[in-house]
Amino acid sequence: MTILDVADLRASLGGQEVLKGVSLRVGAGEFVGLIGPNGAGKSTLLRAVLGLTRSTGTVTIDGRAARELNARARARKISYLPQEREIAWPVSVERLVALGRAPHLPPFSRRSASDDAAVREAMARMEVGEFADREATKLSGGEKARVLIARALAQGAPLMLADEPTAGLDPAHQITLMRIFAGLAQEGGSVVACLHDLGLAARWCTRLVLLDKGRIVADGAPDEVLTAQTLRSVYNIEAHLGSIDGRQMVYPLDLAEGVVRGVRE
């Protein structure tokens, strides 16, 4: 079942065409890592899917044209974790996570028991329960990131779009998050996450989509996408490639034109 269908998406920012005809289908059960160098257009692609950046082409979400969905209906279909981790309001962590349930609540109604359960579960998953009563603006950068991820998880939409979700997280919480996203996919959900850590992307994603200069240049299983040649031509790096437990392993070593001593492909 296709949850997201993007066809010939084009977007321009500051007079430059940033997305140059991107087409992508994401099915239930997929954990897609959207990778590519800085400025490739990854965030713009997520924002265009959400209707936050003007674009041409078509976006279909769970069988319905995205343009026909109002903001609430869209938020029931897509959880979004933006790249910016600013928290504007001095509310408690628990209240902030609970905002994730807002698209599910009829106007002026209180949260139901199942909303409360979703909030508790999301907080437990991201291990933010211990600071439930603290003011969210006063947390550390990584703690704020975990709270915002918990809010996106509480939203409980079938599609999660996450922009650099592991940024600012310590290694244990990065792995926790990748496990959670892999778990969402295994339960039949879909995740598209912009990632710069190719090691995490290779290990946990079921599929990688490599964007470069506004175009998809590779799309497939991690070991098909992360080849020595693509790493050189798109990222300008040499990397050690291998496999652990049958999954692709990537360790960036040096710039492609740099001298890499003692390592042979």
Give the footprint of ligand ATP on this chain (CB under 6 A).
Answer: 13-14, 18, 36, 38-44
| Side chain identity at residue 73, one-letter code | A
Tell me the closest approach of the beta carbon of residue 163 to ligand ATP, in angstroms: 7
Helix (H) or strand (E) holding 240: strand 237-244
Contacts of 8 by beta carbon, 8 Å cutoff, 6+ apart: 21, 22, 23, 56, 57, 58
Q: Which residue's CB is nearer to ligand ATP, number 39 or number 258?
A: 39
Find the shortest distance in angstroms from Cβ 168 to ligand ATP.
Answer: 14
Region of 50 (left: φ > 0; alpha: ψ -120 to 50; beta: rest) is alpha
Instruction: Between 38 and 109, name the residue whose CB sits nearer to ligand ATP.
Output: 38
Between residues 97 and 201, which has the closer beta carbon with respect to ligand ATP?
201
Single-letter residue type at 173: H
| Least distance to ligand ATP, CB of residue 34, Å | 8
CB of 55 to ligand ATP, least distance (A): 12
Q: Smallest distance from the beta carbon of 65 to ligand ATP, in angstroms?
A: 23
Q: 226 in helix, strand or coil?
A: coil
Closest CA to 188 of 4, 28, 76: 28
In the complex, minimum distance from the CB of residue 161 to ligand ATP, in angstroms, rounded to a whole number: 12
- Report the run of H or E that residue 250 belongs to, with start and end: strand 247-255
Q: Measured between alpha carbons, how far is 36 from 163 in angstroms, rounded to an integer? A: 12
80 vs 131 by CB, closer to ligand ATP: 80
- Closest distance between ligand ATP and the C-beta of residue 18, in Å? 4
Q: In which element (H, E) is residue 230 found?
A: helix 228-230
DSSP secondary structure string for all residues of 150-194: HHHHHH--SEEEEESTTTT--HHHHHHHHHHHHHHHHTT-EEEEE
Nearer to ligand ATP, 41 or 103 (CB): 41
Between 20 and 76, CB nearer to ligand ATP: 20
User: Which CB, 36 or 189, lies closer to ligand ATP?
Assistant: 36
Sequence length of the chain is 265
Q: Closest CB to ligand ATP belongs to which residue?
A: 14
